[in-house]
Structure 1
Amino acid sequence: MPGERCCMSNDSACSNSVMGLSVRKLELPHWLAIWLLIGVAWFLVAVAWMPTNKLYQQGLVAFLWLPALLTVFVRPAFCIELVRANKFLMLTFAGLFVWSSISLLIAEPSLFLKELKRQLYVGFFLLGVAAFVRHNERLAYQTLIFAALLLALAAVVSTVDFYVLQGYPLRLRLQGIGQLSHPILGGYVIGLVAAWLACGRVNLWVRLLALVVLLVFMLLTQSRGVWLAFLAVCVLMPLWQSSRRGWLPLVLLVLAGAPLFFVFIDVVLARGFSYRPEIWVKSLDMISLAPVWGVGFAADYHIVGGGGKVFDHSHNLLLHVAIMSGIPAVLMWLTIWAGVAWQGWRHRKTPLGSLLCASVVFSSVACLFDASSLWGTPRPEWFLTWLPLGIALGLGRTSVPAAVSQT
């Protein structure tokens, strides 16, 4: 009857309206997504282009942590779904968070509330990156590639500024602009984005030019750990990229690196192993003194090497975490990292998944030699630790989407 058809029509319209409302609750508002885009781009690019660390931190508060916090209130259903899609990683991260907090409370109770904000910074960062990636995976991939190109430009500016404008000799280790001023950490940031471009889908000539610039920067820092990390990406890339492009970075590394390698060979060999074996042995001794809870992640420790040389960290992320928060914290971090690697492997056929695979390989090698912080304030080391985790959380899905061609 006409009346019945009208009721059925109204019920259908009401049902569609409810479904539409539910779908919108699982999506970010356009204005919030743009805000997160700015924040992620700021984290990636301003690390080089901001003159001071204070400005860099302030920008992260305004452009990334604040919208991440708002996401919890504006789209709670979105956040809940993000957690559900990443139960394993979320639970393990929560375990690491709590364990590190307890170790800090035991070792340095007076610093607990003050230092707890560092962990909250990490949490907001992960939420911001994951929300942005989940909202638009294609845009997230393009943001990483665009940031890599801007950092390639920063590498050029750094090289010209250091060797030409400031007049330092070529055999002195390059110190970049902004937060890339540390030869080792700056080299790792540049090396990581070079790995992104190596497996990214970018115009061939743009990619070649940017890669050459980035490789020259890496070599001028004279950091051997960077070379090993990038070489590992080059060798293993064919595992997740079946095309011939997987061998291109290795060829470029040889062509660009061979001439400079012979220029710096005596400087590199003169540094030997840079006290690494001795530092690691002393670190193990420190771990044996507090193997369960560590000394607290806010504590300062020093390792005295041969000849009285003092080092302020273990030059190995796993040893550093063990010293700070105990062996259980290391096991939890390794579990998290295995989850990140698995997420990258599951999405290896997608552009962003390929970049995550490269990040895991590069960071795994880099953290064996130099990275020394988990809960510190945002710094270049976050590119090697929390950024891959944030991307992995954003990629968390019940099913893996088909690969999409992106340029």
Structure 2
Amino acid sequence: MLFSQRVMGPVVGLPKVWLFILGVGLFVQLSGLLFNSDGSRYATQTYLLLFVPTLILLLWRRFALDIWRQAPGVLLLCLQAWVLLTGSVNAGSSHGPAYWLKIDVLILLYVFAVASLVRHERAFTWLLFAGVAMASVFAWLTLYYQFGVLDKPLEYKVLRYAGRLREMGWRGLGDLNHPIIAGLYYGFFAVLLTYLLVGLKVRAWQAALLAVAMLGLLAYVLLTFSRGAWFSTAAGGFVLLLLFPNIKSRSLIGAGCLAVVVAAYLFWPEIQHEQKVGVSGRHLIWDNWAAHLPEFWLMGAGAGADLFFKFPDSTWSVIHAHSLYLQLWYEYGIVGISLFVLLLLSLLHKGWVCRTQPLARVGLALLVFAMVAMVSDVYTIFHRLSPYWVLVWFPIGILLGVRPAGKRNRFTGAAK
């Protein structure tokens, strides 16, 4: 069997039809970025297959108060209320209150859908498997098309400055618009695949297939030359391996350390060049943020406000802080960033308390992945559908959904 008996045990709680609906909707949201070449089609599919059914489920469950009564749930609602308030009263906000209310509601529905499916481990694990399979197929197709069909040279200088992976290159499929986004997106699935490999009982041939899939995902992440994606994937994967102490995880840690040593020996000139590149001018952007701190530190510049910076002696300019933590502080002030940090800390605490549950460990690893990525790459999360929803709101939904041992199922009364 692909999954262990623990995962394949009986499912309680939501009817099977709802598990199927949520699973399909979340799969489209997770993977639709790859198989849709049109953003509006992706949005339409997600609205119809995920948001509308989830709204019906939320109303049927009488707003699922058990999810929001916990500390992370309360902090999330407070953060969303502050976003709405800032978007309504701060003159610097990019949109009016109706827009921010819509974004808040969609995020609420999304994390509720993830949290609801998490409470049915078998169904959620099949969702993870389907998402990882789709991402792995597209990673290998991209590598084949870019280097086999388009015959792109595998040379560091060419790839680093003119050939960083971000799309398949065929009919708009698998187009993630930017190498950084692409690296983070595929790195997210590499962490999930690590869970399937070390957290579940798999046969030798299944482990081999997972290893081939992992090779494709990691190769794609590497060739985006997004160092934020590299570090995020390494951090998330390492945490996951530590949380699943078994012979497979220890073997992967050893193999990973050996691979790093070999890579450092073989590619030392390239590593030195990456070191010289540094943070790619981000320190100047962060200095600009600090210079304007007295202007926005308390109430923020407004929801969705741009932080404009033009590089000296250059025509290149940016409109955000290149760090989600700094950008949230810029937009929502000290209250907004404080609520966000408290939300992350509460989720880390809950994940640790529930660490005996496999999906809590997955949520912890993905949250660490996101927290590292948010240092230098993620620029917004209160925004229309984007890959950043997968990186940030998905692990938040997982950790909202897991429950400490001894909690009882409100549908059946059975201990979870």
TM range (shorter): 0.7 to 0.9
Preserved contact between residue 164 and residue 224 of structure 2 (Cα < 8 Å): yes
Deviates more, 1:199-208 or 1:184-193: 199-208
Preserved contact between residue 191 and residue 230 of structure 1 (Cα < 8 Å): yes
The C-alpha deviation readout for 1:255-294, integer Å capped at 9, x for no partner, is: 3882885585476345332012221121222333111221
Match of 2:381, SS?
coil
1:362 to 362, 369, 387: 369
> 1:342 is matched with which residue?
349
Structure 2 residue identity aligned to 1:192 = F
Preserved contact between residue 68 and residue 74 of structure 2 (Cα < 8 Å): no
> 1:83 is matched with which residue?
68
Asked if 1:163 is matched to 2:167, the reply is: no
Q: How far off is 1:153 after superposition? A: 0.9
Structure 2 residue identity aligned to 1:55 = R
Preserved contact between residue 166 and residue 175 of structure 2 (Cα < 8 Å): no
Structure 2 residue identity aligned to 1:75 = R
Count of aligned pairs between the two proteins: 372
> 1:199 is matched with which residue?
195
Q: Which runs of 5+ in 2 are unaligned?
A: 1-11, 169-173, 409-416
Q: Which runs of 5+ in 1 are unaligned?
A: 1-25, 402-407
With over 3 angstroms needed to count, the CA separation of the structure-2 counterparts of 1:126 and 1:176, relative to structure 1, is: same
Larger Rg, first or second structure (1 or 2): 1
2:184 to 180, 183, 188: 188
With over 3 angstroms needed to count, the CA separation of the structure-2 counterparts of 1:187 and 1:156, relative to structure 1, is: same
> 1:58 is matched with which residue?
44
1:365-376 correspondence to structure 2 within 5 Å: 365-376=372-383
Asked if 1:213 is matched to 2:216, the reply is: yes
Preserved contact between residue 47 and residue 180 of structure 1 (Cα < 8 Å): yes
Asked if 1:311 is matched to 2:333, the reply is: no
Asked if 1:71 is matched to 2:57, the reply is: yes
Q: Name the TM-score, length of structure 2 as normaliser.
A: 0.82
Q: How far off is 1:73 after superposition? A: 2.6
With over 3 angstroms needed to count, the CA separation of the structure-2 counterparts of 1:138 and 1:341, relative to structure 1, is: farther
What is the rounded CA distance, in whole Å, between the counterparts of 2:244 and 2:108 in structure 1? 32
> Normalized per residue, which structure has more helix?
1
Structure 2 residue identity aligned to 1:36 = L
What is the rounded CA distance, in whole Å, between the counterparts of 1:179 and 1:330 in structure 2? 31
What is the rounded CA distance, in whole Å, between the counterparts of 1:252 and 1:328 in structure 2? 40
The C-alpha deviation readout for 1:291-336, integer Å capped at 9, x for no partner, is: 1221222323322233343122211111010011112111111111
Preserved contact between residue 294 and residue 324 of structure 1 (Cα < 8 Å): yes
2:283 to 260, 277, 302: 277
Asked if 1:118 is matched to 2:109, the reply is: no
What is the rounded CA distance, in whole Å, between the counterparts of 1:349 and 1:237 in structure 2? 13
> 1:4 is matched with which residue?
none
> 2:234 is matched with which residue?
231
Q: How far off is 1:111 after superposition? A: 1.9
Structure 2 residue identity aligned to 1:60 = T
Asked if 1:258 is matched to 2:263, the reply is: yes
The C-alpha deviation readout for 1:358-407, integer Å capped at 9, x for no partner, is: 10221111111100112111211112211111111111346379xxxxxx
What is the rounded CA distance, in whole Å, between the counterparts of 1:141 and 1:186 in structure 2? 23
Preserved contact between residue 321 and residue 374 of structure 1 (Cα < 8 Å): no
> 1:173 is matched with which residue?
164
Match of 2:292, SS?
helix
The C-alpha deviation readout for 1:92-122, integer Å capped at 9, x for no partner, is: 1111111111211222476222343122211
Deviates more, 1:162-171 or 1:27-36: 162-171
Q: Name the TM-score, length of structure 1 as normaliser.
A: 0.83
With over 3 angstroms needed to count, the CA separation of the structure-2 counterparts of 1:399 and 1:301, relative to structure 1, is: same
CA RMSD of aligned residues (A): 2.5
1:22-61 correspondence to structure 2 within 5 Å: 27-61=13-47
Asked if 1:152 is matched to 2:152, the reply is: no
Preserved contact between residue 19 and residue 123 of structure 2 (Cα < 8 Å): no
The C-alpha deviation readout for 1:171-221, integer Å capped at 9, x for no partner, is: 221122434342101111111111122233253212211111111101110
What is the rounded CA distance, in whole Å, between the counterparts of 1:162 and 1:253 in structure 2? 29
Deviates more, 1:154-163 or 1:172-181: 172-181
Structure 2 residue identity aligned to 1:118 = I
> 1:106 is matched with which residue?
89
Preserved contact between residue 324 and residue 378 of structure 2 (Cα < 8 Å): yes
